[in-house]
């Protein structure tokens, strides 16, 4: 039996708006901290999520996991809830969370981790907010 640990990554995109703010700060302080993302009327991005799983490939198929199944999990448990939404207002499980790319990584992890097949482990979630800015989370 193979003991190689391999990794596969699936990417997906979604479009969403948000307003980054710290409750209790005035608009000027939020603007200084978060720039355009503190816009009173929200600010949008086309996000890219990269979800990486790790495990030992099946000896017969050579596959760690069917990428179509990983795509379905991402779509069902994340994308369907956030695509074309206001992350501050339209997503119940993001309520009360400042929707930074960093916080989205953590919340997406919590959201999808329970649905991972037993033979793989969620290794990393990376969120690209722009083509130049990304955050990643590898769990606790």
Active site residues: 37, 84, 129
Report phi then psi at 30, rounded to 5: -65, -40
Pairing type for strands 120-128 and 134-137 reads antiparallel
**8-state DSSP, 27:** H
Pairing type for strands 43-55 and 6-18 reads antiparallel
CA 76 distance to own-chain centroid: 13
What CA–CA distances, in Å, run from 92 to 45, 83, 125?
A: 19, 13, 20
């Amino acid at each position: 039996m193979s003991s190689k640990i391999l990794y596969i990554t699936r990417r997906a995109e979604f479009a969403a708006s948000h307003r980054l703010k710290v409750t209790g700060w005035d608009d000027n302080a939020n603007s200084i901290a978060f720039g355009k993302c503190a816009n009173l009327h929200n600010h949008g991005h086309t996000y890219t999520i990269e979800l990486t799983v790790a495990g030992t490939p099946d000896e017969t198929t050579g596959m760690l996991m069917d990428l179509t199944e990983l795509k379905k999990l991402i779509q069902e448990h994340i994308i369907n809830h956030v695509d074309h939404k206001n992350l501050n207002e339209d997503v119940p499980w993001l309520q009360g969370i400042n929707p930074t790319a960093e916080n989205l990584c953590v919340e997406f992890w919590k959201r999808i981790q329970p649905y991972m097949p037993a033979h793989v482990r969620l290794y990393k979630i990376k969120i690209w907010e722009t083509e130049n800015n990304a955050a990643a989370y590898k769990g606790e």
